Amino acid sequence: MALQRISAASPLEQILETLDADGGVIIEGLFEVAVIEQMREDILAAAADFQPGAATQGLGQDGKAFVGRNTIRFSSLGRLSEAYFAMLDNPLYAAIADAVLLPHCGSYWVNTGQAMLIGPQSPAQMLHRDCDNWPAVSAQGWPDSPEVTLSAMIALADVTEELGATRVIPGSHRWGDYKENGTAELTYPAEMKVGDALVYTGKVVHGGGANRTDDQWRLAMHLSFVLGWLVPEESSPIDYSDADLAQQSPRVKRLLGHQSYDPRPHLGGGLWLRHVDMIETT
């Protein structure tokens, strides 16, 4: 089963059906090129401050091995670029995230927005599922456990297989064994033009591809959401002050943790409260 591509102009239902069937889909033109070019410029300007191989995923040497020796990663992208806020407000990505995540939560927030720049002569990343960050929730009842996270790998410039396009195993979100991560032979590369994005659920097996070039970087970023009752990878709520977000939309404020979690219409209690009361956005 190959990885499918679909235009951002397609009906939402068709996009959701493809995502549901395969666990991942390339959406051509998901993000406005001007916004992505701004983000690319701002990411490249910041990249010199981050050493290849320095990111640990909070797991020391194990995390370094996962990220890759010649990969540059960093987050808090809204501190570097206004384009980040426009991306968070992207209406189609919002509609897809609503459809995938709201059946399991009152609201979701940013898991992480991360520059993921794979350097020349990098081996492929280990295959994995993003829902592995929350294994107690995902493993129980697998594969019918709730979708906990939705991700997009976004091309900041054209991404080819040779540059290290993300590799995906379509259909692996439905495999019977949660611990089975497949093999490289089963993967398809998500080759993309600038502004395209691979949108995939936390259940689908994937990994960064090998960069086989001698001198070119794969320029991509990741933007993911997680259920509002789970802890995200990135510390957005403390990375942005109320003043930083004053001009942003209520959605952006909520996504970055500046609003409390109301579980309704689902069961559960209010979370992320201040003085036992809701932090509201305006």
Ligand X SMILES: O=C(O)CCC(=O)C(=O)O
> Which residues lie near ligand X (CB under 6 A)?
116, 125, 130, 153, 166, 206-208
Nearer to ligand X, 86 or 153 (CB): 153
C-beta separation of 128 from 207 below 8 A: yes
Q: How far is the CB of 153 from ligand X (least distance, A)?
A: 5
Q: How far is the CB of 6 from ligand X (least distance, A)?
A: 19
CB atoms within 10 A of CB 34: 11
Nearer to ligand X, 23 or 208 (CB): 208
CB atoms within 10 A of CB 33: 12
Question: Distance between alpha carbon 11 and the CA centroid of its chain, in Å?
Answer: 22
User: How far is it, in rounded angstroms, from Cα 154 to Cα 77?
Assistant: 14
C-beta separation of 90 from 29 below 8 A: no
Nearer to ligand X, 63 or 250 (CB): 63
The residue at minimum Cβ distance from ligand X is 208
CA distances from 102 to 15, 35, 38, 264 (A): 17, 27, 30, 10
Q: How far is the CB of 69 from ligand X (least distance, A)?
A: 14
Q: How far is the CB of 197 from ligand X (least distance, A)?
A: 12
Q: How far is the CB of 232 from ligand X (least distance, A)?
A: 14
What element of type H or E holds 207? strand 206-207
Tokens read off for 73: 């990663």
- Residue with token string 């996962």: 66
Nearer to ligand X, 84 or 217 (CB): 217
CB atoms within 10 A of CB 111: 27
Cα four-point dihedral sign 63, 67, 68, 70:
negative
Nearer to ligand X, 107 or 151 (CB): 151
Nearer to ligand X, 90 or 166 (CB): 166
Q: How far is the CB of 241 from ligand X (least distance, A)?
A: 28
